[in-house]
Amino acid sequence: MSEQKPGWRELSRGAIPYMSSEDYETGDWGVERPEIDRGRCTKCMLCHFYCPEGAIRVREDGYTEVDLRYCKGCGVCAAECPVKCIEMVRKT
């Protein structure tokens, strides 16, 4: 029988330092990047809200843009887009 590991509530406070991904450019981690088709985009901003890295920003015109310095290429934005205007493409 395997030993049960402690849950996060049992860990000591401060075991993991708080850090923001703003401090680290993580864009070279992934193998894909999102491409947004502005012709199909409805400016719903769901990609912006769902991006776990905060790498998608809203421009003044209401469209979103991806900051590739911080995008890890996880594809959450493409999966959550209701009109499927975001395609994950292989980085070259």
For the chain, give every domain's residue range: 18-90
Res 86 pLDDT > 90: yes
Q: CA 61 to CA 37: how far, in whole Å?
A: 15
Q: How many CB atoms lie within 10 A of CB 55?
A: 23
Q: What is the pLDDT of residue 23?
A: 72
CA-based nearest residue to 70, from 87, 52, 45: 52
> What pTM value is reported for the model?
0.74
92 pLDDT above the threshold of 90: no
d(CA 75, CA 15): 29
**CB 27, CB 71: distance < 8 Å:** yes
Query: Taking a C-beta distance cutoff of 8 angstroms, is the pair 35, 89 a contact?
Result: yes
2 three-state secondary structure: coil
State pLDDT tens for residues 8-52: 677 666 655 555 666 778 888 889 999 999 999 999 999 999 999
Quote the pLDDT of residue 66.
97
Q: For 18-90, CATH number? A: 3.30.70.20
